[in-house]
Structure 1
Amino acid sequence: MDWTTEAIERLKALWAEGHSTAEIGRRMGISKNAVVGKAHRLNLSARPSPIRRDAMPRPAPAPRAPRPAPVPMQRLVQPTAIRQAPPPAPPPQASAAPVVRSFPSARPRIGARSCCWPIGEPGTQGFRFCGADPMAGKPYCTEHAALAYVKPRDRREDAA
């Protein structure tokens, strides 16, 4: 837009009347941003915020209880299954002898050098991980990697 002397005078008059920048733009047939830019370059007085504030100051908000510590995220066990949390353990009962749990010796050790594919339902007694030797750079053995890593099919097959 070419800012003629008449256009600048009209802008100043509408600005002094307190119209919004959008309203001034509508009346002058220009964009709101053109009004804002020219008003800024002309150093016109600052406009009050269009956000209405209450006449009475608001009371200070009540202090909040401290937030609980964040729970660390768990690694997904199986890409296609939803992991369910095991049921909570029953409350401890007073007994003289400590409870000793034994695990089968054939249970594989899970770590950086064993397949992490879950077998069974989490939270049940038969749940375990595969434990076979994984492929290089992958968390799964060859058999389970073939299930976990499926190549996306070519979308051109669906073209009409």
Structure 2
Amino acid sequence: MSWTDERVELLKKMWGEGQSASQIAKELGGVTRNAVIGKVHRLGLSNRTTTKTETKPKAEAKPKVAPKPKAAPKPAAPKPEPKPEPATTSATPKPAMSPARKAIIPAGQPLPPQPSANEISPEALAKVNEVEKSAKKLSLMELTERTCKWPVGDPATDNFWFCGLPVQAGKPYCEAHVGVAFQPMSARRDRKR
């Protein structure tokens, strides 16, 4: 099935009238409800100005019954005076909300970078930077069981490579990259505190 101009116009018309995606799919024939929803989103029609319930008001099923007479209101009791709270010397501050939590990010937008609970120590990063200067810079096809498989760079560019230095026994990476990739549990737990 292809989306011809006539079918797209019929889709737009029915969507504007408030028809459901299932009803539109049935009317068009040869398309699924999900195909209709996808086309609606690609055309940018997802925000309807009118809905089906707005175009046809519902008829009331039950006739209105006369309300029962209300009882006379009771006289209001006098309100007690608020007691002053004792002053405290050490007020507990409320936890501050991070700016990322305060902002509402629209759907489909990338989230801002979040701080990691398992940040890498500066010493380990310095060691990795030194090792990467002496790396063999292998391509994917050049990797073996004995070469470090740590990726460096953006895979979508020509400047992407793997470390290629000798691996540590039983690990897929060289000593420097193992220090970054595999961290002891106690060190991670301590950093979270």
Flag whether TM exceeds 0.5 (same fold): no
Looking at secondary structure, tell me which structure has more helix per residue.
2
Compare CA radii of gyration and give the structure with the larger one.
1
Q: TM-score, length-normalised on structure 1?
A: 0.30
Q: TM-score, length-normalised on structure 2?
A: 0.25
